[in-house]
Amino acid sequence: MISILMATHNGERYIAEQIDSLLNQTYKDFTLYICDDASTDKTFSIVSRYAEMNPGKIIVSRNERNTKSAKSNFIKMMIEHKDDYVMLCDQDDVWRPVKIEITVAKMKEMENMYGKETPLLVHSDLMVVDENLKIISPSFKDAMNADYSKTELRNIVIQNTLTGCTAMYNRALADLINIEPRYMVMHDWWLILIASAFGKVGTLKEQTVMYRQHKDNEVGAKDVRTLRYKLERVLNYKKVKEAINITYTQAESFLRAYFEDLSADQRKFLSAYGDIPNHIKPVRVYRIFRLRTFKNGFSRQVAHIIFI
């Protein structure tokens, strides 16, 4: 009924604690699929031991060669595994005991509202913690100044609001994930692009995951409300420009991947958005106002206009 997909690579330090948090869930009807990305530490032996102790509950596979990124490992799993519901799981977090239970309840609520044939995605807030699970921020959503209510394609194309380890999506959405895109920023951003284009996105206000921050995080959490963060963004303006530019590449990739499924208006929008960098600055600014592709938060919007 529920498939949980965990992509692992050199995660020996935290992997057991994460798997234990899954086994301790109040909702038990799930299968955990782990794909190890050619780890060079003890990760594969640890997850294999868990699989031996939990036959049929935990199923482990291994890539012969390292894919070089979590997003590549995840998207391959997302293409391969289809189920009534699918959840994504990082190797170094801790799930709170009711995570699956309350996420399923929200999914059922959305199915009653929109129908099972509608591609549906549910995600939640997180609690940001350090290596020892000490709270850094009680709400990832607040720290990131995120607005989970903005779920239209024009909102998502410029800014990802999904943290993959909180996600659950249904079979109708899973069936749309059938090719590895030419380009995607992250697998979770790609997932919510699909949901925003073809279905509905629902959110939970609860923090369902203890989102562990450590030196090996591929993607981390920062409090964007602080003056320090804003100064770092200004001083590292090249990174800001690059963060904007990759959204154009991803939009073009999404248009190619789902051209036949997109509406005429969606095709026109994605084509116009992807074409923005081909124009001079005044036209680029005009385009974002015409397309209404604004990031959330005043400072982000100002930075977008300055560095576009």
Nearest to 65 by CA among 35, 103, 97: 35
Burial of 135 (0-12, 13-18, 19+ CB in 10 A): exposed
Determine the Cα–Cα distance for residues 308 and 239; give it in Å rounded to an integer.
12
Query: DSSP labels for 145-194?
Result: T--TT--SHHHHTT-----GGG-EEEHHHHTT--S--S--S-HHHHHHHH
Model confidence, pTM: 0.92
Residue 238: the pLDDT is: 80
Residue 270: the pLDDT is: 98
Q: What are phi and psi of 301, to 5 degrees?
A: -65, -40
Residue 303: the pLDDT is: 79
Residue 43: CB atoms within 10 A of its CB come to 24
Cα 61 off chain centre by: 22
* Domain positions in the chain: 2-212, 227-307
Q: Which two structure tokens, joined as six digits, stand for 282?
A: 């005044």
Residue 306: the pLDDT is: 84
Cβ proximity of 15 and 91 under 8 Å: yes
Collapsing DSSP states into helix, strand and coil, what is residue 210? Answer: strand
Collapsing DSSP states into helix, strand and coil, what is residue 220? Answer: coil
Q: Please report, in tens digits, the pLDDT of each residue of the chain (308 residues total).
A: 999 999 999 999 999 999 999 999 999 999 999 999 999 999 999 999 999 999 999 999 999 999 989 999 999 999 999 999 999 999 999 999 999 999 999 999 999 999 999 999 999 999 999 999 999 999 999 999 999 999 999 999 999 999 999 999 999 999 999 999 999 999 999 999 999 999 999 999 999 999 999 776 655 555 555 545 545 555 567 888 899 999 999 999 999 999 999 999 999 999 999 999 999 999 999 999 999 998 888 778 777 888 78
Cβ proximity of 65 and 38 under 8 Å: yes
Nearest to 201 by CA among 230, 166, 236, 234: 166
CATH tag, 2-212: 3.90.550.10
Q: Which helix (H) or strand (E) holds 58?
A: strand 58-62
